[in-house]
């Protein structure tokens, strides 16, 4: 719960439960164990907050293009939760979400997938975030 609340109030940054990513103060959370991820995901099921999950790989060029864009979006949309998952690290989660190409952005609300963007498509992702963040 703490993770969601700190994000809604714009505290940003990784929640205390997870070891923060070495990339300074970023509003994008990353998870390094499936268990922690599952805990977090389950705790968000009752929330109507939009969550954007970025499935990426360290060796994938297109993912690197989106990294700074995602950080910008996370700063702009403080009412939206941004999460980054490394497909090699959490391969079971990537498989569960049927990720076949990277980057894949899965938009989730109340534990359910509402939208998906495949590829480094900044404008399309922005459009979809705008579309889903407002709805209750």
Partner 1 sequence: MAVSAGFEGFEKRLELHFFGDDPLNNLIDNEMGLRLLDFESLQEVLDAVQCTVVSAVGNQYFDAYVLSESSLFVYPTKIIIKTCGTTQLLKSIRPLVDYAHDLNLTLCACRYTRGSFIFPKSQPFPHTSFKEEVFYLEENLPINLCYRKASVMPSKLASHSWHVFTASDAQATTRQLVSGDVNATFTLEICMTELDRTMAKNGDTAGKEMTELTGIGGINPNPNSIICDFAFDPCGYSMNGVDGDRYSTIHVTPEDGFSYASFECVGSVYDDHDEVAQMLKRVVQVFKPATMSVSTTCTSHEVWTRVVHAIEPLGLKCRSCVMDEFPAAGSVVFQTFTATRRK
What residues make contact with partner 1 under the rule CB under 8 A? 57, 59-65, 100-103, 118-121
> What's the distance, CA 82 to chain centroid?
4
Do strands 104-109 and 50-56 pair parallel, antiparallel, or not at all (unpaired)? antiparallel
Judged by beta carbon, residue 74 or residue 125, the one nearer partner 1 is: 125
DSSP result, 11-30:
--S--TTSPPPSSSS-SEEE
Query: Minimum CB separation from partner 1 for residue 64, in Å?
Result: 5
Instruction: Judge whether 63 counts as a catalytic residue.
Output: yes
Q: Pseudo-torsion of CA 90, 82, 56, 125, nearest 10°?
A: 140
Smallest separation (angstroms) from partner 1 to the CB of 32: 21
Distance CA(50)–CA(35), nearest Å, equals 21
Out of 44, 50, 51, 63, which one is annotated catalytic? 63
- Shortest spacing between CB 95 and partner 1, in angstroms: 13
Query: How many C-beta atoms lie closer than 10 Å to residue 96's C-beta?
Result: 12
Which member of 4, 60, 114, 118 is catalytic? 60
Choose between 46 and 100: whose C-beta lies nearer to partner 1. 100
Active site residue 60: yes
The DSSP output letter for 103 is: S
For the annotated catalytic residues, the residue numbers are 60, 63
């Amino acid at each position: 719960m703490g993770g969601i609340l700190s994000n809604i109030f714009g505290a940003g940054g990784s929640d205390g439960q997870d070891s923060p990513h070495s990339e300074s103060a970023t509003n994008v959370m990353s998870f390094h164990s499936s268990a922690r991820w599952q805990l977090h995901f389950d705790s968000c099921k009752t929330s109507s907050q939009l969550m954007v999950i970025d499935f990426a790989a360290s060796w994938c060029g297109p993912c690197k293009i989106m990294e700074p864009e995602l950080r910008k979006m996370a700063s702009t949309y403080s009412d939206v939760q941004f999460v980054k998952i490394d497909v090699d690290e959490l391969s079971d989660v990537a498989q569960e979400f049927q990720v076949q190409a990277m980057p894949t952005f899965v938009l989730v609300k109340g534990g359910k997938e509402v939208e998906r963007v495949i590829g480094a498509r900044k404008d399309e992702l922005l459009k979809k975030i705008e579309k889903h963040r407002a709805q209750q």
